[in-house]
Structure 1
């Protein structure tokens, strides 16, 4: 974010006025649009409010902005002369369309993290740089000559990557498939987006876990789907609840995260997995299995995915490198019947003509290289260490004011707070003190739950981050 140069000879208020004038000229603030308040702009730019008042006065003197008591400061509609100019009402366009914006809490967290990189980040659901295989990928890029062809690739995905995934899925997840049944995506969210847009219709009823990461994705509501919840405990969903929802609402699809569920860390028990298959087969009901965390299992291996037991073709299986390697590669995949793969590949081709071939080549080399297994071993050790450090810090700072079930894999710790405080106030106070987390209501829970991601924060930040969170909580309860 731009900030004025305190070493410049030009006064700060003039720098701010020039910067705002440029943004207005570039139509970032169209005529009639509301500017940030003096107080908010001063906080963003790290200056006194009086400096912003002077900058606004400068712009008002030039007829660029106008202020009215109770209505704030807006860009003048006649700033380029006496004759009004007809411009689109961009605010109306921004509020229109069928694709809904992110939830307010998520937008607030994203804005806070972008404006203040020093915030301790327990919110972002991705690996920190020190957990990603940066050196290994750099070595692969030095060792291998990647394609000289930079045209559009196969919309279903780079064939050698799909071939490598056939071996990977068999070795690590016990899934037998062929390259023709695999589609490469930019990650799990694109897989979910394609499913909701192409395989379902507005008004269709679907079932999601409660709480669920899916609840935080407006794409379901954007697609016009009716969401029905499946309560989970530490052993996952209750299969009979699916039967009841089918009877009452004729649900058309079920979305599950069976291993180290986001956000709770729950693992569906083997008994319930068998029952799930029985119910799904009886009803002819598709299950979308999102499996991003299994290879992070801390002790032994995670339970086999539902897809590995799928002899009837009920399961659409989604995987990704984002939680085990690097989110920046933007590599995910879907295993599905070939007719579904072809349908979704056709839709994705209309969106972007397929993914960049170079990250796909890197991923194909990485999963079959000698670097991959040692990276997984190191990742599991480091994640477990961070999890234990987070738990130790929470117990020291909050004691019996917080409770949780210790996850055996994944990136998240799901907690219930004994003091009941409003989610919004707790988040604001935590951000003010320098730490970010995700309120449980983002995932459909009642107030009083929080999700901490231990993969993103630096190891040396975890203890101080939890101390700041505890201070925020106590400031609202003492």
Structure 2
């Protein structure tokens, strides 16, 4: 650079920066007076003042009356000070653990319409009752006043509607023993925060719902996987001999279990209640799939058999009506509900007032029960299409059972097929499915297939592609 083209004050700035950076003028040292600098550089004092002001603006020097001008930074400390916040350090040290990479990839891809969605655990848009929902929303809007905060336990007419709805399943609880939540995941978060301590043992089926696994892990719980058979979790595998009583829970999905689709038999439910009663082990019953029966109604909930207030019961409209409403409920002894309601107020000050009013209308008007008849018929058609396609394209390549309800088929592939590689190959063919390894630790030979979301022809095509990929390994 031609120094003659650089303003004189800028040359002085660069000269002083060099002295500071090479250690001639270390941090804390006093720089020469303006007069002396003017003499040294052969300029008038106004040029020196301009240079000093720029150096001060850059954060290298600072002038104080009676003290003079001192060096407060060198170029290295200044660089460090001016580096942008390293958010990666925060991202990786947050309390709640991130989903594993493959789960994040699945979550992102589930919104990609170019993929055949065999992974999504929700109803197809084709089943969504859009016209009825418009009517309910319009009716709710016409009755709206000021949308303020609700009672801590939730909108009372909705809690009454839930109480009446649960009574039909044999669960007799007043609205004061019901808490409205923003879906069952929030219910589990409240349970973790309000009823358990870090390190508390949480017994649950192995495999189990992946987001409950991650939620409990992030809360610092000690997860204890329990074996299952075709009737559900094995009660004889439950033992608290090594643990302090009053510090553990059992989390279970007895109806159309996620991911296996298993329906717990009535006999097994009674055995489980007895085993947990013997061990003084409270039960968290996640019953969000109950209404999705396809052949026969399921056995009564554990909560309906519960005579001692041992079971905390969770339900939701997310799987049966609309995930976007974000409405679920917890039914439990009143002191437990009071505790969780207080925590919910601390967390979000209540679920959406509008959603609660809409949910109350669906449940209290009979529309929900009528809607479920349509849902079951649609799911029967989808299950039939999926099973027929599996018979055609997977026979002799994999094993599966016919689910009695819910969304999922738990597909077992040969042991010499690497599941993650199979997932990747299907992904490259624009088919998205959930490898079983995300539901439990260790080796896994399973794939979870959802027949609830993809259009029928896409569902069949996805299974055909999956069969071709499995065959390519063999």
Unaligned runs of 5+ in 1: 1-77
Larger Rg: 2
Q: What residue is the counterpart of 1:355 in the other structure?
A: 351
- Does 360-369 or 279-288 show the bigger shift? 279-288
Question: 1:440 offset after TM fit, Å?
Answer: 0.5
Q: What residue is the counterpart of 2:46 in the other structure?
A: none
Question: 1:474 offset after TM fit, Å?
Answer: 3.1
Q: What residue is the counterpart of 1:246 in the other structure?
A: 240
1:399 matched to 2:395: yes
Question: 1:403 offset after TM fit, Å?
Answer: 0.8
1:275 matched to 2:268: no
Q: Secondary structure at the match of 1:355?
A: coil
Distance 1:117 1:447 in 2: 28
Stretches of 4+ aligned residues off by more than 4 angstroms: 81-84
Are residues 246 and 82 of structure 1, via their aligned partners in 2, closer, same or farther at CA, if it must alter by over 3 Å? closer
Question: 1:215 offset after TM fit, Å?
Answer: 6.9
CA contact (8 A) 1:401 1:417 kept: yes
CA contact (8 A) 2:149 2:350 kept: yes
Distance 2:100 2:120 in 1: 15
Q: What residue is the counterpart of 2:194 in the other structure?
A: 198
CA contact (8 A) 1:390 1:454 kept: yes
1:120 matched to 2:116: yes
Distance 2:86 2:234 in 1: 49
Q: What residue is the counterpart of 1:412 in the other structure?
A: 408
Are residues 404 and 339 of structure 1, via their aligned partners in 2, closer, same or farther at CA, if it must alter by over 3 Å? same
Q: What residue is the counterpart of 2:313 in the other structure?
A: 317
- Which residue among 314, 319, 325 is the counterpart of 1:329? 325
Distance 1:257 1:83 in 2: 52
Q: What residue is the counterpart of 1:450 in the other structure?
A: 447
Q: What residue is the counterpart of 2:418 in the other structure?
A: 422
Give deviations 1:45-104, integer Å, cap 9, x for gaps.
xxxxxxxxxxxxxxxxxxxxxxxxxxxxxxxxx9xx999723211111111111101122
Size of the alignment, in residue pairs? 394
RMSD: 1.9
Q: Secondary structure at the match of 2:313?
A: strand
Could you tell me the TM-score, scaled by structure 1's length?
Answer: 0.79
Give deviations 1:107-132, integer Å, cap 9, x for gaps.
11122334x32101111211111222
Could you tell me the TM-score, scaled by structure 2's length?
Answer: 0.80
- Does 403-412 or 137-146 show the bigger shift? 137-146
1:229 matched to 2:225: yes
Distance 2:212 2:438 in 1: 5
CA contact (8 A) 1:146 1:358 kept: no
Distance 2:177 2:131 in 1: 32
Q: Secondary structure at the match of 1:228?
A: strand
Distance 2:306 2:415 in 1: 44
